[in-house]
Amino acid sequence: MQFTLVVYGAPHSAQSAATALRFARALLTSGHSILRVFFYGDGIHNGNALSCPPQDEQDLLGQWQALQQSHQLDLTICIAAAQRRGVLSDSEAVRLEKPAANLADGFTLAGLGQLAEATALSDRLVSFGG
């Protein structure tokens, strides 16, 4: 079965991001596939390369990146939500004349059309947070 996951919660303020990560691992271990993980609203903070969790907390960014690397996952961040919250790719930082980019490796920016497409192509859409 093919899934699309939507993550609404920031890694530092809600359990939804950690729950989504555990769910994604369980899906892949069970032989299912994930078409896309779409980060929306405050969930876009999961792709902030500048996040620095304390040593006694989970590094969700690193864990998402490791999962992306091992399974070639499509980790997509809503571009509009990201711009509002200051998470920018290199090209967006240049386009918006900002001094730096902070989109983490393994994540891409895209519009809500990517979420609609993934919803249409997936067997199941599962949301976390919200």
How far is residue 1's CA from residue 33's CA, in Å, rounded to a whole number?
A: 6
Starting at the earlier edge strand, list the strands of the sheet with 107-110: 107-110, 75-78, 33-39, 2-7, 124-128
pLDDT tens-digit profile of 24-77? Answer: 999 999 999 999 999 999 999 999 999 998 988 889 999 999 999 999 999 999
pLDDT tens-digit profile of 77-125? Answer: 999 999 999 999 999 999 999 999 999 999 999 999 999 999 999 999 9
For residue 69, CA distances in Å to 11, 26, 85, 130 come to 19, 16, 25, 27
The domains located in the chain, with CATH, are: 2-128 (3.40.1260.10)
Amino acid at residue number 47: G
Please answer whether residues 50 and 18 qualify as being in contact, where contact means their C-beta atoms are separated by less than 8 angstroms: no
Beta strands in the chain (DSSP E): 2-7, 33-39, 75-78, 107-110, 124-128
> Among this protein's residues, is 52 annotated catalytic?
no
Catalytic residue among 24, 77, 78, 104: 78
How far is residue 96's CA from residue 91's CA, in Å, rounded to a whole number?
A: 9
